[in-house]
Amino acid sequence: MNMRTLCLLLLLCVLPSPSPASSAAPPRLMLATDYAAGIDVSEYWVSEKLDGVRGSWDGRRLRTRSGLAINPPAWFTANWPGVPIDGELWMGRGRFEAVSAIVRAPVADDQAWRRVRFMAFDLPADGRRFEARVMRMRSLLGNGVAWLRPIAQFRVHDAAALDARLKVVVAAGGEGLMLHHRDARYRVGRSEDLLKYKPHDDAEARVVGYTAGQGKYAGMLGALVVVRGDGLRFRLGSGFTDAQRAQPPPIGSWVTYRYNGLTANGVPRFARFLRIRHLRPPADPR
Q: What is the dihedral of CA 173, 84, 196, 118, to 10 degrees?
A: 0
- 72 near 57, Cβ under 8 Å? no
- From the candidates 49, 167, 198, 216, which is the catalytic residue? 49
Phi, psi (rounded to 5 degrees) for 165: -70, -40
Residues pairing with 34 in the sheet: 196
- Helix count (H) and strand count (E) of the chain? 7, 15
Residue 265: Cβ within 10 Å count: 6
Buried b / exposed e along 73-92 (16+ C-beta atoms within 10 A): eeebbeebbeebbbbbbbbe
Identify which of 128, 125, 147 has the alpha carbon closest to the alpha carbon of residue 56.
125
Check if 198 is active-site.
Answer: no
Phi, psi (rounded to 5 degrees) for 275: -170, 165
Q: Which residues participate in catalysis according to the annotation?
A: 49
